[in-house]
Amino acid sequence: MSEPQTPEDPNELARLRALVSEYETKMTDAAAVLARVRHEINNPLAALLGQAQLLLREELGEKSRRRAETIESQAKRIEEIVGELRAIQTPAPANRTQE
């Protein structure tokens, strides 16, 4: 692979650096929002899942048990989806060369 070419115009280089900096700031802000969203979803989700699991320990009729199992399985599904958000929460640092 060849080295990326840098613009010869100093103004263009400054503009590109500003764009990269702006992008990194936006990505950091988005990661912070994502972390908060994950936290805000996980708290009630843990309560919901716990209550469903407590219900499943009780003697239930077949219909009620199926409903509690549905609640549990869907809560676990949401838990997995929220867990996948962790992978995109922290942006990878940009590869920068020494200037």
| CATH code, domain carrying 49 | 1.10.287
10-66 confidence digits (pLDDT tens): 888 889 999 999 999 998 888 889 989 999 999 999 999 999 999 999 999 999 999
Residue 99 clears pLDDT 50, i.e. is over it:
no
Query: Helix (H, G, I), strand (E, B), or coil: what is residue 82?
Result: helix
pTM tops 0.85, yes or no: no
Q: Domain for residue 3, yes or no?
A: no
In the chain, the number of structural domains is: 1
Cα separation, 90 vs 34, whole angstroms: 9
Looking at residue 1, its amino acid is: M
- Whether 70 is covered by a domain: the verdict is yes
> Domain range spanning residue 36?
12-89
Q: Is residue 18 part of a domain?
A: yes
